[in-house]
Chains A and B, each alone.
Chain A
């Protein structure tokens, strides 16, 4: 039987980093609205920020999303799957950021193929998680101990879900326009609310 885990890793720098990222996105939006920066520059800055968010999330994914199984062989597979998922997302984020930095690639081309490629990456990560890590370590399971590890893992999957929706909305906005974005936002709020509700219900009282 497994009892409490000991680690000295703190998530606070990540929370501060996320706030800085959000502040950056808000600053870009305000600068665009007030005409300080042009549409093209704002679009590229937003693309670079999205790529960096993906890379930073991928970097911390294997560190925070800890396996939940008591069985060591399952844990070993889960750790390998998490490392692979993290590397794929970091690579995708860095490539995405780099492409938005290169003026040779037009914003129209990047708006179509960038989110499409990132959504393919999320699909690969999801398949990797399901097929390699197996059901033992997946989050949101009933009947499992409500531990900090389970809560953190669930949290990482909620962020991943939100990121996937963000890229899907960018793609839908480019292809179908504003209406599709609004409908997708509604579905996102419902699905993310459902996932968050499940995570909150499994929030630990103590570990």
Chain B
């Protein structure tokens, strides 16, 4: 459960989940929506996959991500989005949370 809370505590990862709510997307398409480096996005994807919130599938050369949320996790995501959960502990250097940039409009 702590992995899920950790995954949902980051605004970038929540935004990724919101994007995937509409349709499955390739890693490249998701990364293009954010002003962050590819390795940072990869780290975010790894956290989401580790928490079991997304699953990845290889479609040809690209990796496609799709949501894998239970109803409770879906509700937690909505709650986190509404109240803007943030991880209170000091983030370590070079973790995805410290490297994230603004979301492209």
Bound CA–CA A72/B64 (angstroms): 9
A29 to B58, CA, bound (A): 49
B68-A9 in contact (CB<8A): yes
Cα of A87 to Cα of B73 in the assembled complex, Å: 11
A176 and B24 alpha carbons, distance in the complex (Å): 48
Cβ of B52 < 8 Å from any Cβ of A? yes
Are A7 and B52 CB-contacts (below 8 A) given A72-B24, A76-B22, A76-B24? Answer: yes
Residues of A within 8 A of B66 (CB): 67, 75, 79
- Residue of B with least CB distance to A72: B24
Q: A44: which B residues are within 8 A, CB to CB?
A: none
A58: interface (CB < 8 Å):
yes
Q: Which of A4, A9, A76, A90 contacts B71 (CB 8 A)?
A: A90
Chain B interface size range: 20 to 34
Asked if B23 is an interface residue, CB under 8 A from chain A, the answer is: yes
Say yes or no: A5 contacts B55, CB within 8 Å: yes
State whether A63 touches B68 (Cβ < 8 A). yes
Question: Interface range on chain A: under 10, 10 to 19, 20 to 34, or 35 or more?
Answer: 20 to 34
Contacts of A4 in B (CB 8 A): 57-58
Q: Is B69 an interface residue (CB 8 A)?
A: yes
- Given A6-B49, A8-B49, A73-B23: A59 and B71 interface contact (C-beta under 8 Å): yes
- Enumerate A54-111 residues with CB–CB distance to B below 8 Å: 58-63, 66-67, 70, 72-73, 75-76, 79, 83, 86-87, 90
Query: In the complex, A72→B59 CA distance in Å?
Result: 10
The verdict on B70 contacting chain A, using a C-beta distance below 8 Å, is yes
Tell me which residues across on chain A come within 8 A of B59, comparing CB atoms.
1-2, 70, 72
- Check B58 against A66 for contact (C-beta < 8 Å): no
The B interface is mostly helix, strand or loop, or mixed, namely mixed
| B40, CB-defined interface residue at 8 Å | no
Once the chains bind, are A83 and B23 in contact (CB under 8 Å)? no
Across-interface contacts of A90 in B (CB, < 8 A): 71
Q: How far is the CA of A127 from the CA of B49 in the complex (A)?
A: 31
B92 interfacial by beta-carbon distance below 8 Å: no
Residues 11-26 of B contacting A (Cβ, < 8 Å): 22-24
B52 to A8, Cβ gap below 8 A? yes
Q: Let me know if B52 and A83 touch, CB within 8 A.
A: no
- The answer to whether A86 touches B71 (Cβ under 8 A) is yes
Count chain B CB atoms within 10 A of each CB in A5, A7, A58, A60 and give the residue with the most. A7
Which residues of A are interface residues toward B (Cβ below 8 A)? 1-10, 58-63, 66-67, 70, 72-73, 75-76, 79, 83, 86-87, 90
Besides the known contacts A7-B55, A61-B71, A72-B59, 13 further A-B residue pairs in the complex with CB atoms under 8 A apart? A3-B57, A5-B55, A5-B57, A6-B56, A7-B49, A7-B56, A62-B69, A62-B74, A63-B70, A76-B23, A79-B66, A83-B74, A87-B71
Q: Which residues of B contact A (CB under 8 A)?
A: 22-24, 49-52, 54-60, 64, 66-74
Task: Please provide the 4 A-B residue pairs with the shortest distance between their CB atoms, ordered closest to farther.
Answer: A9-B52, A7-B55, A76-B23, A3-B58
